[in-house]
Amino acid sequence: MELLATVGFGIGFFALIMASVALHEIGHMVPAKLFGVRVPQYFVGFGPRIWSTVRGETEYGLKWFPLGGYVQLLGMYPPRRDGSFRRTRLSEFADDARAYEWTQISEEDVANQRLFYQKKTWQKLIVMAGGPTMNLLIAFVLMFAVTAGYGVYRPQTTIAAVQACVIAEPGRTSCLPSDPPSPAASAGLKVGDQVVEFNGVAVTSYAQLSSLIRANLDGSAQIVVERDGQRVALTPVHTVLNSVTDQLDPSRKLQAGWLGIGPTQTLVRGGPADVVSDMWTLTQQSVVALVQFPVKVWHVVAGMVTGQPRDISDPISILGASQVAGQVVASGQIDTRAKVASFASLLASVNLFLALFNFVPLPPLDGGHIAGALYEGLRRGLAKLFRRRDPGYFDTAKLLPIAYGVGGLLLISGIALILADIVSPVRLF
C-alpha cells in the first residue's frame, strides 16, 4: 500500500511540475502577445503530438515526452546584415537556422512589426523574464500558503540537547572515555536554557547565535542564559574548531567554531517578509548548487556506477523530485497537515530552482536571451549617445553553437540523473 501511495503521489507531483512548466511558458507567451509578437505554437512536452488545437493564430497542444515545454516566438533570429561578418562554418550554421525560421515569416509579419527581434529592448526583457518570473511567483504563493497557514519549523535559542563530548572521528556518534567534554558541557549549559548573550552580544535568534559560534573559532566564549526566569552567567570556556556543515552547501564540511548544542525546533507561522527571507536563503543555496552542478552530476554518476548510496543533497531529476514527494506523502512518520505542507514546500523549491536555472545567462536558457537583449540595448544606446551608426539588432543566431552545446550538456545530465534516480534513488526514510 505504501509503495502504491508513493508511486501515486509521485505521479501527481510530476503532473504539478509539468503544470509549473506550462505556466512558465505562459509567462513568456502572454507578454509576447501583448507586445504584438506572433506566437505560432505553445506546447507542453517534446516529440510527436498527442493532441493539439488551434485558437486564433496559435496552436496549443501536448507532446509525448513530458520533460519540459516551449512557446514559439516568431522572429527570434534577425536577418543577417550583408557584409556584417566573414563567411565561416559557424555563420553558415546560423544562416541555415535563420533560413528555416524565415520560411514561416511573411512580408506582413515584417511590415507589422510582428517579429520578436523587432521589439524594443525593454519588451524583450519582459518577454524573456516572464517565464522564470512566473516560477518565482508560484514559489512565493506556495511558500506563503505553508508559512501563513501551517507554519515552518524554525530553530530557537532555547537548548534542546547538549552534546557531552567532542568527537573528532567522522561517523562516530557515541562518546569514549578519552574524548574531551564539549564546550557546552564544560560551561554548564542545560536543556531548557535560553541563550540570551554570547561574548557580550545580545542574542535574538538562533541563526545569529550559530554565526557567532562559528566565527568564534577556538576563542573564549562567555555565555549568559535565562534559566528558571533568572539570568545566569555560565563558566567561561573556549569553543573548539570542528567539522561543521556549510550553511550554503549541505554536502560540504568546513572548520568553524563549535559549542555542542542543539536548538529546539518550533512550528512558527509567518508573513510575506518571512517568505522573502526564506526564498533568499534558498536562492543562495541554489546558486551554489548551480555553480557546482556539472561536478555534482559527475559524482552522482560515479556513485551510481560504484554502488555508493545517494546523499540527500545530491542533484536529482524531475523524476527524483517526484519520488521524494511520493515518499513524504506516503510516509507514516508525519501527520496529514505536515505532509501537505512538505509537498507544497518541495514544489515551491522546484519552482524556485527552475526560475534561477533559467536566469543563467547562457543560451538556450532564458537568461541567454536576456543577456543578448541587454547587450543589444547597450551597444545601440552607446552608438546613439556618441552619434555613431546604429549597429542594428544583435544576431542571436550566432549563439546557436553555444546553445546546442549547452543543450546537449543539459540533455546528457538530465538522462544521467534520471538513470541515477531509477537505479539509486534518494531516500528520506
Ordered by where they begin, the domains of the chain are: 1-34+120-151+270-429 (no CATH), 152-268 (2.30.42.10)
Closest CA to 365 of 378, 374, 356, 352: 356
pTM recorded for the entire structure: 0.89
Query: Among all residues, which ones are annotated catalytic?
Result: 25
Number of H helices, E strands in the chain: 12, 12
Cα–Cα distance measured from residue 302 to residue 274, given in angstroms and rounded to the nearest whole number: 39
Grid cell for residue 22? 506550462
How many Cβ atoms are within 10 Å of 26's Cβ, its own excluded? Answer: 16
Give the model confidence (pLDDT) of 134-152 as tens digits. Answer: 999 999 999 999 999 999 9
- Cα–Cα–Cα angle for 368, 282, 171, rounded to 5 degrees: 120
What would the pLDDT profile of 233-281 be if each residue is shown by its tens digit?
999 999 999 888 888 888 788 889 999 999 999 999 999 999 999 999 9
Question: What are the Cα distances from residue 308, in Å, to 98, 303, 322, 425?
Answer: 46, 5, 21, 11
Question: Do residues 242 and 256 make contact, with C-beta atoms less than 8 angstroms apart?
Answer: yes
Tell whether the model's pLDDT for residue 206 goes beyond 90: yes
* Rounded Cα–Cα distance for residues 294 and 316 (Å): 12
The pLDDT of residue 330 is above 80 = no
When pLDDT is averaged across residues 117-121 and rounded to a whole number, the result is 94
Give the Cβ contact number of residue 135 at 10 Å.
25
Task: Calculate the alpha carbon distances from 200 to 119, 189, 203, 220, 224 in Å.
Answer: 59, 17, 9, 12, 9
Share of the chain above pLDDT 70, in %: 96
Please report, in angstroms and rounded to a whole number, the separation of the first and last CA atoms in the chain: 16
Summarize pLDDT for 174-197 with one digit per residue, the tens.
888 888 999 999 999 999 999 999
Q: What is the chain's percent helix, strand, coil content, to nearest 5? A: 50, 20, 30
